[in-house]
Amino acid sequence: MMKVLIIGGTGFLGRYLVDAAQARNHNVTLFNRGQSDPNLFSQMETIIGDRERDLDKLADRQWDAVIDTCGYVPRVVRLSAESLRDKVERYVYISSTIRYADFNQIGIDESYPGRRMADETNEDVDEFYGPLKVLCEKTTEAIFPNRALIIIPHFLVGPQDPTDRFTYWPVRVARGGDVLAPVGPAEPCQFIDVRDISEWIIHMLETKATGRYNACGPGDSYTFGQLLETCKQVSGSNARFRWASAAFLEKHDVAAWRDFPIWFSPDWGIGPARFSIAKARAVGLTFRPVAETVRDTLEWVKTLPTDYQWQVGLSAEKESKVLAEL
Which CATH number do you get for residue 95?
Answer: 3.40.50.720
User: Is residue 283 situated within a structural domain?
Assistant: no
145-173 per-position pLDDT tens digit: 999 999 999 999 999 999 999 999 999 99
User: Is residue 162 situated within a structural domain?
Assistant: no
Nearest to 92 by CA among 193, 276, 215: 215
pLDDT at 39: 85
Query: What mean pLDDT is predicted for residues 222-243?
Result: 98
pLDDT at 38: 83
Q: In this structure, are residues 4 and 64 in contact, taking their beta carbons and an 8 Å threshold? A: yes
Q: Is the pLDDT of residue 306 over 80?
A: yes
Please give the helix or strand (H or E) that residue 168 lies within, else none. Answer: helix 168-175
pLDDT at 37: 84
- Structural domain including 299 reads 168-189+220-270+290-325
Q: Quick one: 134 and 234 in the same domain?
A: no
Mean pLDDT across the chain, nearest whole number? Answer: 96
Report the distance separating Cα 74 and Cα 132, nearest Å.
7
Q: Quick one: 22 and 114 in the same domain?
A: yes
User: Is residue 208 situated within a structural domain?
Assistant: no
Measured CA angle at 81 (ends 75, 85), to 5 deg: 150
User: Is residue 51 situated within a structural domain?
Assistant: yes
Secondary structure E strands in 121-200: 148-153, 156-157, 178-182, 192-193
Confidence class of residue 74 from pLDDT cuts 50, 70 and 90?
A: very high
CATH, residue 244: 3.90.25
Q: Is the pLDDT of residue 110 over 80?
A: yes
Q: Quick one: 122 and 243 in the same domain?
A: no
* DSSP symbols for 109-141: -TTSPBP--S-TT---HHHHHHHHHHHHHHHHH
Residues constituting the chain: 326
Q: Quick one: 140 and 37 in the same domain?
A: yes
Residue 307: Cβ within 10 Å count: 5
**Per the structure, how many domains does the chain have?**
2
Sign of the C-alpha dihedral computed for residues 316, 318, 321 and 326 taken in this order: negative
User: Is residue 199 situated within a structural domain?
Assistant: no
Residue 123: Cβ within 10 Å count: 14
Confidence class of residue 34 from pLDDT cuts 50, 70 and 90?
A: confident
Query: What mean pLDDT is predicted for residues 63-82?
Result: 97
User: Is residue 207 situated within a structural domain?
Assistant: no
pLDDT at 200: 98
Query: Among 32-36, 182-186, 236-240, which stretch is predicted with the lowest mean pLDDT?
Result: 32-36
Q: Quick one: 175 and 300 in the same domain?
A: yes
Higher pLDDT, 10 or 231: 231
Q: In this structure, are residues 96 and 216 in contact, taking their beta carbons and an 8 Å threshold? A: no
Q: Is the pLDDT of residue 220 over 80?
A: no
Report the distance separating Cα 68 and Cα 8, nearest Å.
7
pLDDT at 35: 83
Q: Quick one: 228 and 99 in the same domain?
A: no
Report the distance separating Cα 178 and Cα 250, nearest Å.
19
pLDDT at 106: 96
Query: What mean pLDDT is predicted for residues 13-30?
Result: 97
Higher pLDDT, 272 or 34: 272
Q: Quick one: 72 and 138 in the same domain?
A: yes
Confidence class of residue 99 from pLDDT cuts 50, 70 and 90?
A: very high
Specify the pTM.
0.96
Q: Quick one: 184 and 124 in the same domain?
A: no
Q: Is the pLDDT of residue 237 over 90?
A: yes
Q: Quick one: 84 and 184 in the same domain?
A: no
pLDDT at 107: 96
Q: In this structure, are residues 135 and 120 in contact, taking their beta carbons and an 8 Å threshold? A: yes
Q: Quick one: 175 and 317 in the same domain?
A: yes
Q: For 65-98, b where at least 16 C-beta lie within 10 A, e where not — what string?
A: bbbbbbbebbebbbbbbebbeeebebbbbbbbbb
